[in-house]
Amino acid sequence: MRRILTALTIAIVFGFANAGMAKDVDSHDAKAVFVMTNAANGNEIVAY
């Protein structure tokens, strides 16, 4: 029983972690605009 609970806990923790990662990677529908500074002393991307 204790092993089952431990396994369930691990599964739940990993499940939440993966769900968070999937959401982060897949949510590209949110609007954003990017512009490049092209600066000679260090190029940067400005994100809106």
Partner 1 sequence: MGTRLSPIRADNGMLQQSRKFYTGGRGSGGLIDPLESQGSLTLSQDRSFLFAVNAGSGDISVFRVHHSRLVLTDVAPCGGSSPNAIAQHDNLVYVLNTGGSSSVAGFRLSQNGKLMQISNSIRFLSTNTSGGASLAFSPDGRFLLVTERLTNNIDAFTVQPDGTLSPILVNSDPQPGTFAVIFTPGGAALVAETGPAGAQNGSTISSYAVLDDGTLSSITPGVPTLGAATCWNAITPDGRFVYTNNAGSATISGFAIDPNGALTPLPNTIQATNPAGSSNLDLTISSDGKFLYSLNAGLGAIGIFRINKNGSLTSVGSAGGILAHHGFNGIAAL
Residue 35 interacts with partner 1 (CB under 8 A): yes or no:
yes
Residue 46 interacts with partner 1 (CB under 8 A): yes or no:
yes
Name which of 9 and 37 has its Cβ closer to partner 1: 37
Amino acid identity at 22: A
Q: What is the DSSP secondary structure assignment for residue 39, as one 8-state letter?
A: -
Closest distance between partner 1 and the C-beta of residue 20, in Å? 12
Cβ atoms of 45 and 33 closer than 8 Å: no
Tokens 């512009």 appear where? 35
Applying CB under 8 A, the residues found at the interface with partner 1 are 24-25, 27-48
